[in-house]
Amino acid sequence: MTSNAPEDELHPRDREILKAIVQDFISTGEPVGSQAIAPRYDLSSATVRSAMADLEALGYLEKPHTSAGRVPTDKGLRLYVDRMLRVRRPVPRDRKRIDRTVQPAPLSELMSGAGRLLHEITHHAAVVMAPSPEHTLYKRIEFVRLREDRVLAILVTRAGLVYNRLVTPDFHLAPAELEHATNLVNEMLGELTLEQIHEKLQRERRAEQALYDELHRKTISLASLAFEGQRIEQEVVIEGEASFLNERSFAADLEKMRRLFASLAEKDRLLHLLRQAIEGRDIQIFIGAESEFSAAHGVSLVAAPYEQGDGILGAIAVIGPTRMNYARVIPVVEYTARKVSRTLGAT
């Protein structure tokens, strides 16, 4: 077998041997030797070793320097996931638990609950990405007076997320005026995105000033401070990062662990990956070096988008070692995302 043979031209026997090695490696985390594979296919160890050598030459296996066995490479795992893995529905126990746990609630609670659930089921880290503040619909605003003329603006989205913004207007508003401002802004804005809100406030400011009384002008200024001030950060919930401590390949390498946790703390890197799941509008699987996030850490990420109505809001994902049990993780992530979507659609 030549090293430039395409994946589809792998000998059926070699494909079966690769599949067996991947499954053993996922189960044990240890390099797999020919003696573990040969009896299953009624082959000699020499025949299996020859096939393993061919698979190594093709880049599907590699040989750790401390072992005579082989482990799958990222390329081998990708071939396994794409061509050999039969993804079924989650087992009944997992389905019942997801159905029971994912219930109507404010989106922040729904996100954290889904993250904890995915971590508990898969025993890997779970990430839930909130809707983008720029694209979500804002349903309501409340102004609350604080001391020294500071005002807390509470922004509530259609999906149930709540953002608090502290603003300091350069004018005084009496309690009755603040209540009037709250009612006026809610009546004026309705359910709009941030961009639409900015455009509407700009039009209001450009309108003929004689049309408005002083309270109306204060209201527009206050709303502008609330919506156009500091950038609203997109929320990311992470559950179960400590699960990597249970993986020997990470626990034995403190530098690898340090870099992994540093990457988990870089929210923008996680958001970039999860946005790819949103753009693909379907389950996305990144194995090892296929993503910037995991290139240096030997981790895989399985992500799926969730939606409300016709629009995708965010994404949920499981992050674990490349030897994660894809047969279980993929359907659990996908089913949870669909359950979250159905729950949001019912609210």
Q: Which CATH number fits the domain that encloses residue 68?
A: 1.10.10.10
* Distance between CA atoms of residues 282 and 17, nearest Å: 30
In this structure, the answer to whether residues 254 and 313 fall within a common structural domain is: yes
Question: What total of structural domains would you count in the chain?
Answer: 3
Query: Is 142 in the same domain as 127?
Result: no
pLDDT score for 1: 34
In a domain, 201, yes or no: yes
State residue 207's pLDDT score: 67
Name the domain boundary from 228, 256, 284.
228
- Looking at residue 118, its pLDDT comes to 97
CATH label of the domain that carries residue 161: 3.30.390
Place of tokens 């003696």: 35
Residues 104 and 249 in one domain: yes
213: DSSP letter: -
Domain end (from 228, 259, 286): 228
Distance CA 250, CA 75 (A): 21
Q: 204 and 275: one domain?
A: no
Q: What are the backbone dihedrals phi and psi of residue 234, each rounded to the nearest 5 degrees, phi first?
A: -75, 130
* Residue 108 and residue 252 in one domain: yes
248 and 106 in a single domain? The answer is yes
Amino acid at residue number 25? F
Asked if residue 35 belongs to a domain, the reply is: yes
Q: Cα(260)–Cα(250) distance, rounded to whole angstroms?
A: 9
- Do 103 and 166 have their domain in common? no
Q: Over the stretch 100-117, which tens digit does the pLDDT of each residue have?
A: 999 988 878 888 999 999
- The residues, any chain, with a CB within 8 Å of residue 52's CB and separated by 6 or more, are 17, 21, 34, 61, 70
Helix residue ranges per DSSP H, 89-212? 92-101, 107-122, 175-189, 194-206
Written as one string, the DSSP assignment of 53-111 is HHHHHTTSEE--TT-SSBEE-HHHHHHIIIII----PPPHHHHHHHHHH--S--HHHHH
46: containing domain: 7-84
Helix or strand (DSSP H, E) at 128: strand 125-129
- Supply 137's token pair: 């619909």
Can you give the CATH number for the domain in which 284 is found? 3.30.450.40
Q: Is residue 2 part of a domain?
A: no
* 79 is a domain residue: yes
Residue 2 is predicted with a pLDDT of 36
* Residue 95 pLDDT: 96
Q: State whether 244 and 306 are in the same domain.
A: yes
Domain C-terminal end among 228, 261, 285: 228
Residue 170 domain-assigned? yes
Residues of the chain with pLDDT under 50: 1-5
99 with 29, same domain: the answer is no
pLDDT for 120: 96
| Cβ contacts of 320 within 8 Å, gap of 6 or more | 122, 123, 124, 125, 243, 244, 247, 299, 300, 329
Tokens of 106: 């404010």
Q: Is residue 1 part of a domain?
A: no
Say whether both 265 and 289 belong to one domain: yes
In a domain, 51, yes or no: yes
Residues 178, 296 within the same domain: no
- Please indicate, yes or no, if residue 324 is contained in any of the structural domains: yes
Residues 192 and 274 in one domain: no
